[in-house]
Amino acid sequence: MPLPYVLLSAAVSLDGYLDDTGPERLLLSSPADFDRVDEVRASVDAILVGAGTIRADNPRLLVNSAERRAARTRAGRSECPLKVTVTASGDLDPAANFWHTGGEKLVYTTDKGAERASGLLGSSADVVPLGPDLDWRDLLEHLHDVRGVGRLMVEGGGQVHTQLLRQGLADELQLVLAPLFVGDPAAPRLFGPGGYQGGRLRLCDTRRIEDVVLMRYEPTAPGAGPVPTAADRHWLRTACELAALCPPSDTAFSVGAVVVAADGTELARGHSREGADPVVHAEEAALAKTDPADPRLPGATVYSSLEPCARRASRPAPCAERILAAGVRRVVTAWREPDTFVAGADGTGVLRAGGAQVVVLPELEELAKAPNAHLLG
Ligand SMILES: NC(=O)C1=CN([C@@H]2O[C@H](COP(=O)(O)OP(=O)(O)OC[C@H]3O[C@@H](n4cnc5c(N)ncnc54)[C@H](OP(=O)(O)O)[C@@H]3O)[C@@H](O)[C@H]2O)C=CC1
Ligand SMILES: Nc1c(N[C@@H]2O[C@H](COP(=O)(O)O)[C@@H](O)[C@H]2O)[nH]c(=O)[nH]c1=O
Give the integer Cα–Cα distance in Å for 288 and 284.
6
Q: Which helix (H) or strand (E) holds 308?
A: none
Spatial CB neighbours of 78, under 8 Å, sequence gap ≥ 6: 72, 103, 104
Report CA(361)–ligand 1 centroid distance (Å): 31
Q: In this model, does residue 256 exceed pLDDT 90?
A: yes
Of 17, 47, 57, 159, best ligand 1 pocket probe by most atoms within 8 Å of the beta carbon = 159
Indicate which residue's Cα is closest to atom 29 of ligand 1. Answer: 134
Q: Domain coordinates of the chain in residue numbers? A: 5-218, 230-375
Look at residue 316 in the predicted model and tell me its pLDDT. 85
**Taking residues 77-106, what's their average pLDDT?**
97
Indicate which residue's Cα is closest to atom 30 of ligand 1. Answer: 134
**Taking residues 305-319, what's their average pLDDT?**
91
Look at residue 177 in the predicted model and tell me its pLDDT. 98
Look at residue 197 in the predicted model and tell me its pLDDT. 85
Mention the CATH class of domain 230-375: alpha beta
pTM: 0.95
Q: How sure is the predictor about 314, in pLDDT bands with cuts at 50, 70 and 90? A: confident
* Per-residue pLDDT tens digits for 181-207: 999 999 999 999 889 988 899 999 999
Strand order across the beta sheet in which 357-360 lies: 266-271, 256-260, 301-306, 330-335, 357-360
Ligand 2 within 6 A of CB of 59: yes
Distances (CA, A) of 23 to 33, 57, 58, 187, 302: 22, 9, 11, 12, 50
Mention the CATH class of domain 5-218: alpha beta
In 134-195, the DSSP E strands lie at: 151-154, 172-177
Phi and psi of 365, rounded to 5°? -60, -45
